[in-house]
Amino acid sequence: MTKGEKVKIGLMGLGTVGTGVVRLLRAHEAELMAQTGMRLEIARILVKHPEKERSIYVPPHLLTADPEELLEDESIHVIVEVIGGIEPTRTYIEKALKKGKHVVTANKDLMALYGAELLKLAAEKNCDLFYEASVAGGIPIIRTLVESFTADRITKIMGIVNGTTNYILSKMTEEGISYEEALSEAKALGYAEADPTNDVEGYDAARKMAILATLGFHVGIHLEDVAVEGITHVEKTDINYADALGYVIKLLGVAEREEELTEVSVQPTLVPKSHPLASVSDSYNAVYVYGEAVGETMFYGKGAGELPTATAVVADLVAVVKNMKLGVNGREQVFPYHKKKMKEEDQIFTRFYFRFTVKDQAGVLAKITNILSQSEVSIAQIAQYPNQETQEAEILIVTHHASKKQVNQAIQTIGGMEEVKKAHSLFRVLKV
C-alpha cells in the first residue's frame, strides 16, 4: 500500500458505538492520516432501517440494510462490527474473514463463545481479528495482555469489568438507597437495559473474564468455566455491615492460575477500603494484572459509552492499517496452548463473609462456631446484632482463608439448624 491510499471500511451498526466510530474518524482524520499514512474512509454502513433519523448526519448513499453490500464489495478492506449478538453476526464475521477482510469487533458475547475458532480462521486467512473494545471499553487491557506482558507470566487478573453493577453498588453504598432504587436510576441514565439481567446477574462480567483469562493464561476458558453470582441478593444490610467491618462490596471478576490449575469467578466481594478497587465508583472499570516479574499493575477508566468504546475500536482499526502497510496481518492472534485444568471447590481458598438471622437465645452462637470449627473454618471477625422487638439476632462472620468446599458444607449445616431463621449472604472477601 502506498502513502495516502484509501483504506475502505465497512461499518456494521450505527447505534451508540457505531456513531462514536463515525464521530472519531471524522474528528481525527488528520491525526489518523499522520499515524497510518493512509486515508480511512467509511465506504458502507449496515443498518436495520436506512430511512431512520439519526443523531449524526451520514450521506444516505452509504446506508444499506443488505450485509452482502459490505461483504461482497472487494474494495472494502476492513469490517468494523458493532451490531452485537451472536447470530447473524458470527456468520457475517466468518464470511468477511473468508473473503480476506480484516475484522474489528466490540462483541464480547461472540468472542467469549466463539473467539478461538474465529481467531483460528483469521490466522488461516492472514487476516487480523481485533476485539479490544469487547472488554472494559476504552481501557486498553487486551492489547496490554497480548503485547506488554509477552515477557512475563501472568498469575492473576482481577477487577471491576461491568459499569452497570458498579454504578448500582456505588449508589447503594454512597447514598444508602436500595438495590431497586439504584437500578431504576441506572436505567434512567442509560447504564442499564430495560432487561438488566445480563448485567446484574453477572453474565456480562463473566464473558469478559473468560476473554481476559484466555488471553492472560493461554488457556481456553469458556463461559461455563466461570463461577457466576450477580448482585441481586446484595442487600443494604450487607453494605452497612461491610462498611462497619472496613469493607466495600464490589462485583469482582477474579481469574487466577496456580501450578497449572485455573479458577475464574464473578461474584460480590468485600474489598478492604484501603485497596484501590474500593474507590472505583460510578460506572468506571478497573482491572488489576499480576505478573511474576512486573508485580501489580492497574488499569482504570470508563468501561462503556459511545466515545470510550469507539476509541478502542478505532485504535484496533489503526493497528489493522499499520499491519496492512507492513504486510503482517494475521500474525498477532493469540491461541491457548496450555491444557485447561479448572480448580475444584476444595482447591479454591479465600476468605468469606456470611450472615444469618437466628433466634436470640443462649447457645446459638456457640453452636455456629462449633460447626465452623468442625469444618476447619477459622473465624477472623464475628459480630452479633440482637433485635429485642423480634427476639432475633443478626450474626455475621468473616473467615480466615478456607476452601470453598469447607465453607459451603458449614453453611449448609448451619442453615439446617432449628435456631437459624434465614441464611442471607455468602460473599468472597478479597485477600490482600
| Cis status, amide bond into 67, omega within 30 of 0 | no
Distance (Å) of CA 334 to CA 50, 103, 363: 37, 15, 58
Side chain identity, residue 265: S
From 238, 242, 290, 231, select the one nearest 432 (Cα to Cα).
290
Which one is catalytic: 208, 250, 302, 343?
A: 208
How many C-beta atoms lie closer than 10 Å to residue 68's C-beta?
11
Please report the DSSP string for 406-417 in residue order: HHHHHHHHHHTS
Three-state secondary-structure class, residue 325: helix
CB 343 within 8 A of CB 263: yes
Pairing, β 154-160 against β 129-130: unpaired
Three-state secondary-structure class, residue 211: helix
What whole-number distance in Å separates Cα of residue 153 and Cα of residue 227? 23
* Residue labelled with grid coordinates 458493532: 82
What whole-number distance in Å separates Cα of residue 127 and Cα of residue 332? 9
From 143, 166, 156, 428, select the one nearest 297 (Cα to Cα).
156
Residue 405 appears among annotated catalytic residues: no
What whole-number distance in Å separates Cα of residue 132 and Cα of residue 313? 7
- DSSP alpha helix (H) spans, 99-254: 108-124, 141-143, 163-175, 179-188, 197-200, 203-217, 236-245
What whole-number distance in Å separates Cα of residue 142 and Cα of residue 150? 12
Catalytic residue positions, numbered: 208
